[in-house]
Chain A
Amino acid sequence: MTSALTLNHYLVVSGLLFALGIAGVIIRRNALVIYMALEMNLNAANLALIAFSKFNKIVDGQILVFFVIAIAAAEVAVGLAIIVALYRRKQSVSVDELKSLRL
């Protein structure tokens, strides 16, 4: 392959996406959008894993990504159920409403 791309290219893209995800989690007040930003973080980590896997020529990184995707799917289901339960109590998905520990 005569491509000029190095591992660093992919790592920088992954890092920038992760930074965007962090910024989203901190800036946004809507629990659903915070959750989407968390998904972006997971995907940034996946990209780094795949890039390392490719440039080190070891397939194990891709298998780890497979597990990350499976667990992210389970996590999304549980997280969204929690958000729906919160909405039933508070009639809002804004995290500003969730200041007390008791419901």
Chain B
Amino acid sequence: MNVHDILFWFFSIAMLLCGLLVIANRNPVASALFLVLLFVFMAGLFVLLEAFFIAAIQVLVYAGAVMVLFLFVIMLLDIKASERRKFKVLGVIGGIAVAAAFVWELEMILARPVMPLAAGGDELRGGLEQVVKPLFANYMLPFEVTALLLLVAMVGVVLLSKKEVK
């Protein structure tokens, strides 16, 4: 077992533990902080998969911007009242049942190994150049449409945040 494998097991187990704590925690602030930790471990897994650019984006956008937004909203709203609400028994049973069914299904599918399409070929290293070059060549239109989408989302947020929506 080399360093790569040890890091994979560490990141995976730590990430799943964080995921469990996100949904098990009663305090939304603690949930949000465990989610930040989850995103960081996920970025570690991306680095192991040699997707360096995506790992950087993951930390910057998810662990940075998105979670700051989450924490800001949690602190903006007075969450204290909803903190000690009880879980519904049916909801807990249903949730665990659906998750267990999904895992069972996954096990059925992965009973035989999934064959990668390309056995040979060059090693893929997702550095900045490898990812961004096709982004500005083959994927130019989706990239521009994403920019438009971000603008639309921004306008939508401003409209939703107004006191009176007419």
Contacts and interface: CB of A to CB of B under 8 A. Distances in A.
Interface of A: 1-13, 15-30, 32-33, 35-37, 39-40, 43, 46-47, 50-51, 53-60, 62-63, 65-67, 69-78, 80-85, 87, 91-94, 96
B81 A92 contact: yes
A4 B66 CA distance: 34
Interface string B34-65: 01001100100110011101100110011001
Contact of A32 (B8, B28, B126, B134): B28
Given A24-B22, A37-B22, A67-B146, A56 B118 contact: yes
**Taking chain A's interface residues, is the majority helix, strand, or loop, or is none over half, making it mixed?**
helix
Interface of B: 1-2, 4-5, 8, 12, 15-16, 19-20, 22-23, 28, 31-32, 35, 38-39, 42, 45-46, 49-51, 53-54, 57-58, 61-62, 65-66, 69-70, 73-74, 76-77, 79, 81-82, 85, 87-88, 91-92, 94-96, 98-100, 102-103, 106, 110, 113-114, 116-118, 121-124, 126, 130-131, 134-135, 139, 142, 146, 149-150, 152-154, 156-157, 160-161, 165
Nearest to A74: B153
B154 to A, nearest CB: 7
A11 B53 contact: no
A3 B4 CA distance: 7
A74 B149 contact: yes
Nearest to B157: A81
Nearest to A31: B82
Contact of A26 (B49, B54, B91, B130): B91
A66 B124 contact: no
A53 to B, nearest CB: 7
